[in-house]
Amino acid sequence: MRFDLISIFPEFFAGPLDHGIVRRAKEAGIAEIHVQDLRQFTKDRHRTVDDRPFGGGEGMVLKPEPLFEAVENLLGHEVGDAEKRVPPEAGTTVVLMSAAGRLFTQETARRYAKLERLILICGRYEGVDERVAEFLASEELSVGDYVLSGGELPAAIVVDAVTRLLPGALGNEASTENESFSSLEPSAQGGTAAIAHPRQAKLLLDFPHYTRPAEYRGWKVPEVLIGGHHAEVAKWRRQQAAEKTRRNRPDL
Ligand code: SAH
């Protein structure tokens, strides 16, 4: 799968996407991550990407022209004008990172992991000219109910969450099925695919994990995990996951 990140701070991504699973996925050719410097798509001497807002008010707004040209350059064709819009080809989605977007969830990540290509636009300053949301991006996406200073961290979050779902990225194929937000019964599935209708289904958080030492400062690992009785362990994990979900995320 190919990711294209469009940003005025392309060097931002050097750290976050160079470790662990994402790094291995890149090295294995499972994920291809390209970063586009928005200023490359400006035409003036000062490489201007922003301007003052119509109607007045604080701050600056990212101009539409460089963003449209950056995306068109990636798609290899124009996206059209008011009369004639040309959507990106099937398998490609253009996403605008935005605090005012729809909430990014594990379900969104699963949907994106089926794409061939994801183009992520990172906003800055007060945000992005609305015509980008209306006529260039197919979706506006928020990573949570808080305001960050740029779309780069949110875009890195999306790349990470999607990449670890790509076949082969984790090594152990079963691992993503037993994680938080994956299914009603995380530990009991034993390799079955995630449930068919995640939207209607109840989601469960992960169960607690323990490793050695079996006793640390007097705090003992739950007895059932040490016994080696698989069915008992599975049952305990289901119960713990359900309890943790009720406690931490009753909304799920
Ligand atoms: N004025 C905007 C915030 C702009 S923050 C508002 O009130 O909604 C600048 C940029 O950071 C945004 O254009 C967006 O790309 C990014 N950003 C900030 N918070 C975000 C979030 N929760 N999710 C995704 N992107 C976010």
CB of 143 shorter than 6 A to ligand 1: yes
Cβ contacts of 154 within 8 Å, gap of 6 or more:
97, 104, 122, 141, 142, 143, 148
Cβ contacts of 228 within 8 Å, gap of 6 or more:
none
Predicted confidence at residue 202, as pLDDT, reads 79
Distance CA 10, CA 40 (A): 11
CATH of domain 178-248: 1.10.1270.20
In this prediction the pTM is 0.91
CB of 7 shorter than 6 A to ligand 1: no
Predicted confidence at residue 174, as pLDDT, reads 60
CB of 28 shorter than 6 A to ligand 1: no
Which atom of ligand 1 lies at the shortest distance from residue 122's CA?
15
Residue nearest to atom 23 of ligand 1 (CA): 142
Mean pLDDT by 10 residues, the chain (252 residues): 98 96 98 98 98 96 98 96 91 98 98 98 98 97 98 98 97 76 54 42 91 97 95 97 96 93
Distance CA 68, CA 9 (A): 17
CB of 137 shorter than 6 A to ligand 1: no
CATH topology of domain 2-163: Alpha/beta knot (3.40.1280)
CB of 132 shorter than 6 A to ligand 1: no
| Candidate of 7, 9, 63, 98 to mutate for ligand 1, largest count of ligand atoms within 8 Å of Cβ | 98
| Candidate of 140, 148, 157, 159 to mutate for ligand 1, largest count of ligand atoms within 8 Å of Cβ | 148
Q: What is the pLDDT of residues 211-241, one digit of tens each?
A: 999 999 999 999 999 988 999 999 999 999 9
Predicted confidence at residue 144, as pLDDT, reads 98
Tell which residue, 164, 220, 227, 228, has the closest CA to residue 31.
164
How is the chain split into domains, by residue range?
Answer: 2-163, 178-248
Predicted confidence at residue 179, as pLDDT, reads 87
Distance CA 136, CA 118 (A): 13
Domains 2-163 and 178-248 share a fold: no
Q: Return the bridge partners of 103, or none.
A: 142
